[in-house]
Structure 1
Amino acid sequence: MFEFQRMTQREAEEIAYTWKYDGVFSFYDMTADEEDLLEFLDGSKRGEHVFSSYVKGKLTGFLTLDFVEGNIDIGLGLKPDWTGKWNGRGFLQSALSFIQSRYTFHALSLSVASFNQRAISLYSHMGFVRNGTFLQETNGGEYEFIRMILPPFNGIVVTRAFDKSRLMEMQEVYQSVGWNKHSLDVIEEIYRQSNIVCMVYVDGRVRGVGRALSDGVFNAAIYDVVIHREAHGQGLGKRVMDHLLDRLKGISCVHLIATTGNEEFYQKHGLLPMKTGMARYRSEVLENEYLIKEK
């Protein structure tokens, strides 16, 4: 439906000066940020990877591409009178098809303002997953943005953010290894309370998880490194541990309680048995499995 071509100077000026959005979405007016405006109008800075989109000869949107370490970071803009009318899905699908037909890449990523729930919902439905947040100064203030990434088919992507829309897939991971007490509410709560999160996607579906709690300086504890039973043997557990330990590399002490039979796996990551490790359990089953009781 949408056709893309390299943006001309005339098109850049039309978009920059005449596309005005209503209400809170005026945030996306090109004239709202002078630095962004000047960069968009400078043909040498736009380069060869900024495109205009057309439908039946009418200018309807634009697409920007930024190539970063084998990935492509994309930016999208739809003409104001085309927004809010169910055109977003077709526009995004056309953009993805255009990119896939022209470029080789590992994964696609984008950033979206946290307040733009309409766009976040669209990206999530199209398979993008959250990969953290950041603050950026723009439009005269500081705003929160969400990083999102589209996992490649037949590929593995590790993200650093909890994505509530994937709760059922996460529960499936736990249940595949017999952890059946993890309800959707429980999973949501423990991941919201964990300040370090890792989720692994294979072919666009969650197939591994891990999390940690840390005070940011002295101590941290790793929990729930779980890989879907059908995905065992693919190195996903190593990917989770490498990710968590990398984010905890400045912490003085990292604790972990290994499930029975997996001690060797964690030792390969540099974790060793403790001389004075102690714990208290409310569950008799866990108490019998993990505690060394005095005779």
Structure 2
Amino acid sequence: MMTIRFLQSPTKEEVARIVELYKAQGWWEEGKEGPDLVVRIIQGSHYFAAAEVEGRIVGIGRAISDRASDAYVQDVLVDPDFRKQGIGRLIVQELTEKVHGDGLRWIGVVAEKGSAPFYTPLGFEEMPGATPMLKTRK
């Protein structure tokens, strides 16, 4: 049975598992990022959701927000062995319900190319005239 938990103070084991998930997605730079980054990500998120099967984290997602007007869903990822089972969808649904429950009406997502078919059935729409942009620190 799958459950969703919202993490605030993860254990070392939870952090290690979340790092594994980021690595499996290719979103982790070995040697540049350490486990303490995961702790800061979780604590800095409005909500950090962990999907668990038999006590093992198999998916994550988070909402970041100013806690006043809007939020963004990001870092939604599921262990490759557990994909296509609705876990990612449930993570996004739980996050958006929590954020809407806090009175925030506007929730955005900057989706990776090709992932719109995942987000549109969940109520997200393309923002006409908008261009996602990124500035990274060198």
Q: Calculate the TM-score normalised by the size of structure 2.
A: 0.84
Residue 163 and residue 157 in structure 1: after superposition, are their counterparts in 2 closer, same or farther (change >3 A)? farther
Q: Please give the per-residue CA displacement for 1:197-244, whole angstroms capped at 9, x wherever unaligned.
A: 111111111111111122334211111011111111221101101100
Contact (CA 8 Å) 1:200, 1:206: kept in 2 or not?
yes
Residue 234 and residue 279 in structure 1: after superposition, are their counterparts in 2 closer, same or farther (change >3 A)? closer
Q: Residue 19 of structure 2 is aligned with which of 171, 176, 179?
A: 171
Q: CA deviation at 1:175?
A: 1.3
Q: Please give the per-residue CA displacement for 1:47-82, whole angstroms capped at 9, x wherever unaligned.
A: xxxxxxxxxxxxxxxxxxxxxxxxxxxxxxxxxxxx
Q: CA deviation at 1:159?
A: 0.7
Q: Please give the per-residue CA displacement for 1:90-148, whole angstroms capped at 9, x wherever unaligned.
A: xxxxxxxxxxxxxxxxxxxxxxxxxxxxxxxxxxxxxxxxxxxxxxxxxxxxxxxxxxx
- The whole-number CA distance in structure 1 between the counterparts of 2:7 and 2:41 is 13
Residue 180 and residue 215 in structure 1: after superposition, are their counterparts in 2 closer, same or farther (change >3 A)? closer
- The whole-number CA distance in structure 2 between the counterparts of 1:221 and 1:241 is 11
3-state SS in 2 of match to 1:212: strand
What number of residue pairs does the alignment pair up? Answer: 130
**Structure 1 runs not aligned, ≥5 long:** 1-154, 284-295
Q: Which residue of 2 aligns with 1:78?
A: none
Contact (CA 8 Å) 2:2, 2:53: kept in 1 or not?
yes
- The whole-number CA distance in structure 2 between the counterparts of 1:201 and 1:261 is 26
Q: Is structure 2 residue 33 aligned with structure 1 residue 187?
A: no
3-state SS in 2 of match to 1:274: coil
Q: Residue 242 of structure 1 is aligned with which of 80, 85, 93?
A: 93
Q: CA deviation at 1:163?
A: 4.2
Q: Is structure 2 residue 120 aligned with structure 1 residue 253?
A: no
Q: CA deviation at 1:279?
A: 4.2
Residue 237 and residue 247 in structure 1: after superposition, are their counterparts in 2 closer, same or farther (change >3 A)? same
3-state SS in 2 of match to 1:243: helix
Q: Larger radius of gyration, structure 1 or 2?
A: 1
Q: Is structure 2 residue 58 aligned with structure 1 residue 212?
A: no
| Aligned Cα root-mean-square deviation (Å) | 1.9
**Structure 2 runs not aligned, ≥5 long:** none
Q: Calculate the TM-score normalised by the size of structure 1.
A: 0.41
* Letter of the structure 1 residue corresponding to residue 116 of structure 2: E
Contact (CA 8 Å) 1:162, 1:198: kept in 2 or not?
no
Contact (CA 8 Å) 2:8, 2:42: kept in 1 or not?
yes
Q: Is structure 2 residue 45 aligned with structure 1 residue 199?
A: no
- Structure with greater strand percent: 1
Q: Which residue of 1 aligns with 2:123?
A: 270
- The whole-number CA distance in structure 2 between the counterparts of 1:263 and 1:186 is 28
